[in-house]
Structure 1
Amino acid sequence: MTETITPTATCPSCGAPATPGAKFCESCGKPLGDAAPAAPVAAAVLDELSPISAPTHRKSTDEVVDTGPRPCLVCQGVVGPDGYCETCGAKAPTERDHFRETPAAWVAGVCDRGLVHHRNEDAMALLASETPGERAVLVVLDGVSNSTDSDVASLAGAKAARETLRTPFPQGMGTAASRTGAITKVFADAAAAANEAVVAVTDPASTNPASATFAVAVVERGLLAYANIGDSRVYWLPDAGPAVQLTVDDSAAQQQMEDGVPRAIAETSPQAHAITKWLGRDAPDVRPRTGQVEITAPGWVLACSDGLWNYASEPDALAAQVAAAGTTEPLALALALVAFANAQGGRDNITAALARVEPAATVQDSGQNASAPALDHQEEPDG
């Protein structure tokens, strides 16, 4: 027997127009008959926070990810070809609005639209060896909302950077300094490839060209190398000892902090997320900041967009969320971090890409805390 639901003018969960007689909202997938009406003040806040996004003119012909049948985000049932869960009837987001990658058991990521944005402008591209700790690449790009086709551009750029980083790092001339220089060059090539991909999908006549931030982490047999442009970040979150934000933002907030403004004030100022470097046709400089650390203790490598760290910027705050998740499964942790960001308001797109690192042997006391490795360098290439 079909259950009858009293028609409502709008969905009580998200405010979208509701089809008369429908059981589920076609916009957010929530049941139309069970949800409590949203408070007017909450709706006003959402309207105030809702970003102004430039349109998407170009469609990507690439598959976002091929993982077979998608799980329903509400009940974990199977999403059918029509985009609705075959078990509970909830409408699933498109693959571009929510996708997951698990290239190996020790590496995974989740890229999600969040609750407020109208599209997902974040992107990620991952690769990993089957052997834990041998080699993994985490690439995260965050498309700038007010630029046209940023959702298409960020995905193209992430995939281009991943392909550039597919082969192991060169060894240089046999010295630490020469290998550092070689790795810095590889990251510069990856950023250039990502930028070329972003420009390639940008309409030459556009007065608002696509742009994106860029963050990459590469794990290679105990070495963690990283690079960034903009304000997407890489963190090292050890199981024990202090967590570390490895990358340094290219942003107005970072400039304020360097001038002595406390982090909490700088990162909540009106211009907190104004970036000073980015990828795109109008980018002033696409050379990334780079750095390397030796990993000698178990923990997590996290590459993420600001949609996650907005709610836990301090490294120890992110580490607390990792601990609260209570899992050593990368995909489960990535989902937990995305759920945390959405629970805080989901005001931006959210990407969390993770590698679980468990070195076979921990360096004994040598004057350094093994779980909080010293930074070998943190620099922007000369020239």
Structure 2
Amino acid sequence: MNADAMALVRVGEWTVGVVCDGVSMSSRPERAAQVAADTGAATTVALLRAGALPETALTEGTIRAARAVTALAAPRMSPAPPGPPPDRRSPDQPALGPSDKPGENPPACTYVAGIASPDGVWTAWIGDSRAYWLPREGTPMTLTEDDTGTHDALSAWLGADAAGPDPHLRSYRPHTPGVLLLCTDGLWRHLPTPAALRTRTTRGTDHLHTARALVTHALTAGGEDNITALLLPAAPRSHPG
């Protein structure tokens, strides 16, 4: 099962991306990740179109994504099973009821979102999915800090059993063209440093090829986790392309 999810939207000069990693110990982690990615991207794009600052759009996108994942933990009503109408069912036939098993951990996921434009790059995150700035020239850098504790245990996530959403924010104004990389731990555990990542990225504009090359490297290195890499190109106005 692939419990990673992503969303990518281009609106005007803005490129918005979201990457989420479903927490394996939770129920329906793949659903949590997809709902978070879709909700976060849609909210961020809508606010940018309305004139919001990137920081505001990312913060609200993260908060609404968290609410959407939390809502997945509410009891869901299963469709009625095939058979006679309810008033003619035998006593042992199930009626409508919650479809989540009691005692299951609620759906949960990590979250990292990014915005790239000629004016800079911005990122918001909760969990251990990461954002990197990888310039064509100059020093690459990690823009995020993992929400982890002892033995790299996850200390923050989106979900009904998480603390209130309090996303971290960071912005950076690059001086040369490059890419904002958003990825799950399935990638960065095999390429943990910005320098290692940049050695695997091309200097061209085929970002899909680059993303595939990163994923292929992680798989070749023995990666068994889900792997997601999303590249958002950015170039300052003084360096188009």
Q: Tell me which interval the TM-score lies in, with the shorter structure as reference length.
A: 0.7 to 0.9
Indicate yes or no: 2:121 matched with 1:239.
no
* SS, match of residue 319 in structure 1: helix
> Which residue is 1:110 aligned to?
none
Distance 2:140 2:71 in 1: 38
Distance 2:8 2:197 in 1: 21
Counterpart of 1:147? 26
> Percentage identity across aligned positions?
35
Q: CA deviation at 1:297?
A: 0.8
Displaced runs of 4 or more, over 3 A = 169-172, 182-185, 203-207
What 5-or-longer segments of structure 2 have no aligned partner? 76-101
Select 1:313's aligned residue among 164, 167, 192. Answer: 192
Name whichever of 282-291 and 184-193 sits farther off.
184-193
The Cα offsets for residues 25-45 of structure 1, whole Å up to 9 and x where unpaired, read as xxxxxxxxxxxxxxxxxxxxx
What whole-Å deviation, never above 9, does each CA across 1:227-253 have from its counterpart, x for those lacking one?
A: 010100110000111101001111126
Q: Deviations over 1:292-346 (max 9, x none)?
A: 11122111110000100001111111111114xx642011111111111111112
Distance across 2 between alignment mates of 1:169 and 1:312: 35
Q: Which amino acid aligns with 2:230?
A: A
What 5-or-longer segments of structure 1 have no aligned partner?
A: 1-118, 173-181, 254-270, 363-383
Q: 1:77-122: CA deviations, max 9, x gaps?
A: xxxxxxxxxxxxxxxxxxxxxxxxxxxxxxxxxxxxxxxxxx1111
Give the secondary structure class of the aligned counterpart of 2:200: helix
Q: 2:224 aligns with which of 347, 360, 379?
A: 347
Match of 2:149 among 235, 252, 269: 252
Distance 1:278 1:312, change over 3 A: same
CA distance in structure 2 between the aligned counterparts of 1:344 and 1:169, rounded to whole angstroms? 41
Partner of 1:30: none
What's the counterpart of residue 111 of structure 2?
214
Separation in structure 2 between the aligned mates of residue 158 and residue 336 of structure 1, nearest angstrom: 23
**Cross-structure match for 1:381:** none
The correspondence for 1:160, drawn from 26, 35, 39, is 39
Residue identity opposite 2:177 in structure 1: P
What does 1:276-315 correspond to in 2, within 5 Å?
Answer: 276-315=155-194
Q: 8 Å contact 1:219–1:225 — kept in the other structure? A: yes
Cross-structure match for 2:95: none
Give the count of matched residue pairs.
Answer: 213
Letter paired with 1:245: T
Query: 1: distance between equivalents of 2:233 and 2:60?
Result: 26
**Aligned partner of 1:196: which letter?**
R
Q: CA deviation at 1:169?
A: 7.1
Give the alignment of 1:5-20 within 5 angstroms. none
* 1:188-227 → structure 2 map (5 Å cutoff): 188-204=59-75, 205-227=102-124
Q: Which residue of 1 aligns with 2:205?
A: 328
Q: Under a length normalisation based on structure 2, what TM-score does the superposition of the two structures give?
A: 0.82
CA deviations 1:249-290 (Å, max 9, x no partner) are 11126xxxxxxxxxxxxxxxxx22x11110000001311000
In the alignment, which residue of structure 2 is the partner of 1:107? none
Aligned to 1:124: 6
Secondary structure of the residue that 2:161 maps to in structure 1?
A: coil
Contact 2:54 2:115 (C-alpha < 8 Å) held by counterparts: no
- CA RMSD after TM alignment: 2.1
Specify the code of the residue in structure 2 equivalent to 1:342: L
The 8 Å contact of residues 149 and 202 in structure 1, kept in 2 or not, is answered as no
Deviation at 1:197, TM superposition (A): 1.7
Q: Is the 8 A contact 2:128 2:146 kept in 1?
A: yes
Contact 1:169 1:186 (C-alpha < 8 Å) held by counterparts: no
Instruction: Note if contact 1:236-1:299 (Cα within 8 Å) is conserved in structure 2.
Output: yes
Paired with 1:171 and 1:294, the residues of 2 have a C-alpha distance of 20
> Which of 1 and 2 has higher RCO (CA within 8 Å, sep 6+)?
2
What residue number does 2:235 align with? 358
1:350 aligned counterpart, secondary structure:
coil
